[in-house]
Amino acid sequence: MHMTLKDVLEKAIQKEIEAQRLYTDLSQKVKNSAVTDALKKLSLQEKGHQTMLERYARGELKKGSLRPDQTVDYKIAEHLDQPQLAPDMELKDIFLFAARREKASHELYLSLAGMHPAGEVRTLLRDLAGQELEHKQKVESLYTEVAFPQTDGG
């Protein structure tokens, strides 16, 4: 299956929108205000990723950009093929699901950065990859808080 850079960017934008929804929905399900705040912050960061990808897709980023119709190695696009969230998943499993998605996004942006020449776009994609890795670590930390809550005994 051949995908163009435009196809990959459109799917990546959709994944960023899905991540925003996931974190917003999760923030409404947890009782811990620190976890709620962290999830809201993650949602806002994913919105920022969406905005940057949309700017690239519209051709607003020039230095080091590729043609939208350029074919992308399917191995890159594989990072976009992820399982869907099941409605009956427990909260702790949703956090693990989110961590896996963040890892896939990290790998996608690293792969895309690797196919771009030096310049603004490669820097942006590497930055996005780093942020997605930070998100994975944050979600794993939130998972720990939810899966193994502290008791009064410490």
Exposure of 1 by Cβ count < 10 A (0-12 exposed, 13-18 middle, 19+ buried)?
exposed
Residue 102 near residue 139 (C-beta atoms within 8 A): yes
Q: pLDDT digit string (tens) for 86-114? A: 888 888 889 999 999 999 999 999 999 99
- Which has the higher per-residue pLDDT, 84 or 63? 63
Domains of the chain: 3-146 (1.20.1260.10)
**pLDDT at 151 > cutoff 70:** no
